[in-house]
């Protein structure tokens, strides 16, 4: 089996959450969000290398927090100016033997083991694999003072982990940074790779606001 690696990007400042503590360090069901994300990856992929990318000013804080909880083994890499640079630093921290790499938002702690495994298995045959879900809401596109409805059947909401064959990903991240890089899949597309879509999970939410915390707690309570 191909050697697997995971990069967990934990660069959020928590401004939208409104607290002094960055959201990835906040408690969710008696466990820091970042710890939950790390442990979920380890549970799904016990032999995988895990790298957590943190802003330099958060490293000691995280080490102090992690020491108080049961957190799976992981390396720490320093974040960069943009997410692009943070992921590039995370890639550099993985060993050269890693053949398949998953890149995950630290604040998506509810991803199921089933989805993680499904994405990594698909990546053995596809260069770039991302989880997506169809939108429920209606959408309008705004153009100046006008707006018009857009067909939501053609839209998908993108999640993480996004999983890639490592050799292609490393080459893609040799490109110069562009503001059009909204996620890792867009970096791969710019390098000429096709992106394969896999059905994601509605419960795989990104925790950004206080209301997201309430939703996450409700999902955990429903699961248990």
- Concatenated DSSP letters for 98-164? --EEEEEETT-TT--HHHHHHHHHHTTT-SEEEEEE---S-EEEEETTEEEEE-GGG--EE-S-EEE
pLDDT at 18 over 70: no
The DSSP symbol for 82 reads S
The DSSP symbol for 196 reads E
Work out the angle between the directed axes of helices 33-44 and 59-66 (0-180°, nearest 10): 70
Percent of the chain residues past pLDDT 70, beyond the cut: 96
**Out of 11-20, 117-126, 194-203, least confident range:** 11-20
Long-range contacts of 132-137 (CB under 8 A, 24+ apart): 132/156, 132/157, 132/158, 132/159, 132/197, 132/198, 132/199, 132/200, 133/157, 133/159, 133/199, 133/200, 133/201, 133/202, 133/204
**Out of 4-18, 42-56, 100-114, 200-214, least confident range:** 4-18
CA 206 to chain centroid: 9
Q: Is the pTM of the predicted complex or chain greater than 0.85?
A: yes
Q: Is 18 helix (H, G, I), strand (E, B) or coil?
A: coil
- Pairing verdict, β 100-105 and 162-165: antiparallel
149 forms beta bridges with 140
What mean pLDDT is reported for the chain?
Answer: 94
In angstroms, rounded to a whole number, what is the distance separating the alpha carbons of residues 57 and 18?
19
pLDDT, tens digit, 9 for 90 and up, residues 128-180: 999 999 999 999 999 999 999 999 999 999 999 999 999 999 999 999 999 99
pLDDT, tens digit, 9 for 90 and up, residues 170-217: 999 999 999 999 999 999 999 999 999 999 999 999 999 999 999 999
């Amino acid at each position: 089996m191909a050697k697997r690696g995971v990069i967990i990007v934990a660069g959020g400042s928590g401004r939208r959450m409104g607290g002094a503590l960055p959201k990835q360090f906040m408690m969710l069901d008696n466990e820091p969000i970042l710890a939950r994300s790390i442990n979920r990856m380890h549970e799904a992929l016990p032999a995988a290398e895990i790298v957590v990318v943190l802003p330099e000013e958060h490293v000691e804080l995280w080490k102090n927090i992690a020491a108080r909880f049961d957190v799976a083994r992981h390396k720490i890499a320093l974040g960069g100016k943009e997410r692009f640079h943070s992921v590039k630093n995370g890639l550099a921290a993985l060993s050269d033997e890693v053949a398949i790499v998953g890149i995950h938002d630290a604040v998506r702690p509810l991803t199921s083991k089933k989805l993680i495994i499904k994405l990594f298995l698909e990546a053995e045959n596809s260069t770039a694999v991302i989880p997506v879900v169809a939108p429920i809401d209606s959408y309008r596109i705004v153009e100046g003072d006008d707006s018009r409805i857009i067909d939501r059947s053609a839209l998908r909401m993108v999640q993480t982990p996004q999983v890639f064959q490592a050799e292609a990903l490393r080459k893609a991240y040799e490109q110069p940074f562009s503001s059009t890089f909204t996620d890792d899949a867009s970096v791969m597309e710019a390098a000429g790779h096709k992106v394969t879509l896999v059905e994601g999970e509605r419960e795989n939410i990104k925790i950004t606001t206080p209301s997201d915390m309430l939703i996450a707690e409700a999902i955990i309570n429903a699961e248990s």
